């Protein structure tokens, strides 16, 4: 049975590279690459948090409008509210798709020194007081 090494083919390594030009200060190059990588990761996390906020806001607005629609009396008011609900459902679906796209990007992003190791479990099995 052949071993699949494709899991490690996209690891982004900067500290082990010896192929720098003699006129380039190697520690500075590594520092610049690290800063660029950290900035990219920060921007991605910011996109994720903004998307999450928009998703929650959209969900709250949708819930509020659906409750108003249930309590509406007149047909004209119900038609207007239904149009707004349809619009918000479309917007919510767009934010949900954006969230799935961001999760896919995160899953397919190349590994690097900062992301190669993550906690699989955050549970303390030690003695608990109380």
Q: What is the pLDDT of residues 3-40, one digit of tens each?
A: 887 777 777 665 555 667 778 888 888 888 889 999 99
pTM reported for the whole predicted model: 0.67
Residues of the chain by 3-state class (helix, strand, coil), percent to 5: 65, 0, 35
Distance CA 76, CA 67 (A): 16
For the stretch 71-127, pLDDT in tens is: 888 888 888 888 888 999 999 999 999 999 999 998 888 888 777 776 666 666 666
How far are the Cα atoms of 55, 57, 65, 74, 94 from residue 61, in angstroms, in the given order?
10, 6, 6, 21, 15
Cα–Cα distance between 38 and 112 in angstroms, integer?
A: 10
Question: Which whole-number Å values give the CA distances from 105 to 27, 30, 70, 98, in the listed order?
Answer: 30, 24, 39, 10
């Amino acid at each position: 049975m052949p071993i699949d090494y494709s899991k490690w083919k996209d690891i982004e390594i900067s500290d082990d590279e010896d192929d720098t030009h003699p006129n380039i200060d190697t520690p500075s190059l590594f520092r610049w690459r690290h800063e660029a990588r950290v900035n990219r990761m920060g921007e991605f996390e910011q996109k994720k948090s903004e998307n999450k906020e928009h998703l929650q806001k959209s969900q709250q607005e949708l819930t509020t409008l659906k409750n108003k629609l249930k309590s509406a009396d007149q047909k004209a008011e119900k038609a207007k509210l239904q149009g707004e609900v349809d619009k918000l459902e479309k917007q919510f679906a767009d934010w949900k798709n954006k969230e799935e796209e961001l999760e896919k990007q995160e899953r397919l992003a190349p590994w690097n020194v900062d992301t190669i190791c993550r906690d699989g479990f955050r549970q303390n099995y030690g003695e608990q007081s109380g």
